[in-house]
Amino acid sequence: APSREWWKEAVVYQIYPASFLDSNGDGLGDLPGIISKLDYIKSIGVNAIWLSPIFKSPQNDMGYDIADYRDIHRPYGSVEDAEALIHGCHERGIKVLLDLVVNHTSDEHEWFKESRASKSSAKRDWYFWRDPKIGPDGARKPPNNWASIFGGSAWTWDEQTGQYYLALFLPSQPDLNWANEDVRRATYADMEFWLKKGADGFRIDSMNLMSKHPDLPDGPISNPEMEYQSGALYFASGPRMHEYVREMREEVFDKYDCMTVGELGFTKDEKSVSQYVAKDRHELNMLFTGDIVDMDFGINHKYEHNPFHLSKLRAITSLWQNAMPKFDGWNAIYMDNHDSGRSLSRYGSDLPQYRKTAAKMLAIYLGTLSGTLFLLQGQEIGMANLPESWGIDDYVDLEGKNYYRSVLERRGAGADMTDVLKEMRRKARDNGRLPMQWNAEPHGGFTKALKPWMRVNDDFKQWNVQEQEGDDDSVLSFWRRILDLRQREKDVFVYGKFSLLDEYKDSDAILAYTMTSFDGKAALVLLNFSDKEQKVDPLDFGGWRCLLKETVSSIDGKGVPLKAYEGALYCNW
């Protein structure tokens, strides 16, 4: 029998607080809004939530720039509201994960204010301060050639003390120096502050960027046309990374019954992953490896075109499903988060004739795999990416807007930007952050304000929670069924063994696999990722019974008909 843990059986619902529900009419979601929907959240069949950052922040990066880890962003509510939210969740058997953003702080955090005040500040070494380099022309240059993940140099000049500081994301998100022990102690204390208040764990942001190569060497020149290059070789999974994670675990996590999921960037091979999650390493419970979210990102840049092929999804799925049992690690299963487009629009289809079927098909995929399942708010009702008609001014997020601006500068004012908008429509972070669509009222019932902080998708009148409640055929009802089944048959799905169906291992249209429990219960999963009808003929017809399919059909020796984007789930019990 498998080694069972509550965090392995969790189904986690990611809440993007700004976009969930506005209770006070200021156009922004808030904690009381979330509290008022806990019964709904529970009704989906999830048993945990992950809150994207709710802490005090100037919101230059939507709260991923934290100014005080022990306070709440005022428009979201107060520490008391956060306590009430945790309490309300626990009353309903829902665990609460917080977003732990400690690779960097906001430049408005007291630590950084002290650090930047003078070269002799006691906290100077809490961040990365370096002298400028002087170019051949005598001009000041950043200490190395690293590019920021959001564009431009990773170094920001500070006039007052005449040095640069490192900020791998926005200039207002200075990187903390984890090599400094006081930094680590201070963040551990902040983590405990929330664990003592009942938080059940953390999603650890940019986890493996915390240890950098101590010399901060120039990154290799991968693109000579660019002024700055990727420094990932030297800032990702640096030499002390595992030491920090183990220390965090021993000093903090082990004292509580909590769960940890680290966000892993850049080094995503099997060996690197195993070093974080193999049980005997005593580090993290699981990782977001991001490779499914990144499948259609360009080779050089996220927004360059790179088509989705089913073969990529099949390869990534079988890689991790098969790898984890080898070293007693654990998977985080997800396709969506707040950093990209919705999987429905990118890997399924949001065209009206396919949308509902495709959303259900992806639900079967996610709901049957072994691991801890994560859904993004709105996924349960088949929310889609923003429409093609929206222009650049409807986008809010800096990552996409920065990219748009850089291309426009290169091409010149008035240039045709249709191709760029097309890729943004597919992958921009705004897509994952669109306000929840609750009902057919103005702004989808998300807010009573005249103007929400971010435009609501145009399709809210047809696609909303209220419309799908009580409709047996809706995406929401389908998710409820699959999550219920997943909980009832944990040994097949959560803990099951994945095996690709040989006959379909090269198919461009069909992803087919079985999940088998340690005691021989098996489920057969057939997923049509194409816009054509398919007839699927598994070699072994032996007594499969249809568990879930939009248009129910039995396996009768003549194969299984699958509509465009339809999925089917069969069992042998």
Closest separation in Å from C-beta 210 to ligand ISL: 12
Task: Give the residue with the Cβ less far from ligand ISL, 320 or 513.
Answer: 320
**Phi, psi for residue 569 in degrees, rounded to 5:** -130, 125
Q: What's the token pair of residue 60?
A: 């230059």
Burial class (CB in 10 A: 0-12, 13-18, 19+), 389: exposed
- CA 382/CA 44 separation, integer angstroms: 13
Task: Please name which of 377, 305, 374 lies closest in space to residue 333, comparing C-alpha atoms.
Answer: 374
Question: By beta-carbon distance, which residue lies closest to ligand ISL?
Answer: 64
- 333, 374 contact by CB (below 8 A): yes
Task: Please name which of 366, 359, 304 lies closest in space to residue 331, comparing C-alpha atoms.
Answer: 366
Task: Give the residue with the Cβ less far from ligand ISL, 81 or 291.
Answer: 291
Task: Give the residue with the Cβ less far from ligand ISL, 48 or 100.
Answer: 100
Q: Does the active-site annotation cover 99?
A: no
Closest separation in Å from C-beta 14 to ligand ISL: 10
Task: Please name which of 15, 45, 34, 155 lies closest in space to residue 486, comparing C-alpha atoms.
Answer: 45
Task: Give the residue with the Cβ less far from ligand ISL, 107 or 399.
Answer: 399
Q: How many CB atoms lie within 10 A of CB 215?
A: 8
Binding site for ligand ISL (CB under 6 A): 61, 64, 101, 149, 169, 205-206, 263, 265, 302, 338-340, 399, 429
Task: Give the residue with the Cβ less far from ligand ISL, 14 or 368.
Answer: 14
- Pairing assessment for the beta strands 372-376 and 11-15 based on DSSP bridges: parallel
Closest separation in Å from C-beta 387 to ligand ISL: 20
Q: Does the active-site annotation cover 503?
A: no
Task: Give the residue with the Cβ less far from ligand ISL, 8 or 212.
Answer: 212
- 130, 164 contact by CB (below 8 A): yes
Task: Please name which of 550, 495, 496, 551 lies closest in space to residue 524, comparing C-alpha atoms.
Answer: 496
- CA 306/CA 287 separation, integer angstroms: 25
317-341 per-residue burial string, b: 16 or more CB within 10 A, e: under 16: bbbbbebbeebebbbbbbbbbbbbb
Closest separation in Å from C-beta 427 to ligand ISL: 7
- CA 568/CA 524 separation, integer angstroms: 8
**Phi, psi for residue 500 in degrees, rounded to 5:** -70, 145
Task: Give the residue with the Cβ less far from ligand ISL, 132 or 151.
Answer: 151
Q: What's the token pair of residue 182?
A: 């006081």
Closest separation in Å from C-beta 151 to ligand ISL: 11
Residue with tokens 């220390």: 247
Active-site entry in 65, 263, 339, 550: 263
Active-site entry in 205, 294, 339, 489: 205
Residues noted as catalytic: 205, 263
